[in-house]
């Protein structure tokens, strides 16, 4: 997974046009790779999740199992349910990405971290 994270980090940095900062960024960071697994809901629970948030890490890489439950907030404030294929990964740029690199505007706007909420409906 670490190799996947490095490859995706390089791709994300290149997509923002700041690839010259990749090596210095990779050398300057030290962080833990975190794996999360949400618990199954109790029989009397109809919904399980956490409040909407952005992640503090550099990138978030998600691989969902057969239970879909990721919602993303659009720039217009609308929530959409993401249903990735079982063989795909979802990559979200997180807070540390924006705070460690001198980014250039994309599409005339500054990009922000993905506001999301993992929700499991029963």
pTM: 0.62
- Is 55 within 8 Å of 94 (Cβ atoms)? yes
CA-based angle 83:86:91, to the nearest 5?
Answer: 65
Q: What is the mean pLDDT of the chain?
A: 71
**pLDDT of 27 higher than 60:** yes
Distance CA 119, CA 61 (A): 17
Distance CA 83, CA 21 (A): 33
- Is 72 within 8 Å of 39 (Cβ atoms)? no
Q: What is the pLDDT of residue 122?
A: 44
Q: Which domain holds residue 99?
A: 2-121
The total number of structural domains in the chain stands at 1
- Which two three-digit tokens encode residue 106? 């994309």
Distance CA 10, CA 84 (A): 22
**pLDDT of 8 higher than 50:** yes
**pLDDT of 95 higher than 80:** no
């Amino acid at each position: 997974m670490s190799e996947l994270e490095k490859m995706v980090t390089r791709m994300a940095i290149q997509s923002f046009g700041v690839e010259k900062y990749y090596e210095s960024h990779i050398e300057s960071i030290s962080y833990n790779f975190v794996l999360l697994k949400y618990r199954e809901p109790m029989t009397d629970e109809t919904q399980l999740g956490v409040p909407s948030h952005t992640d503090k890490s550099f990138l978030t890489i998600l691989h969902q199992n057969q239970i879909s439950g990721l919602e993303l907030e659009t720039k217009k404030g609308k929530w959409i349910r993401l249903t990735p294929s079982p063989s795909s990964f979802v990559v979200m740029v997180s807070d540390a990405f924006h705070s460690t690199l001198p980014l250039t505007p994309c599409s005339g706007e500054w990009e922000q971290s993905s506001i999301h909420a993992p929700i499991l409906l029963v």
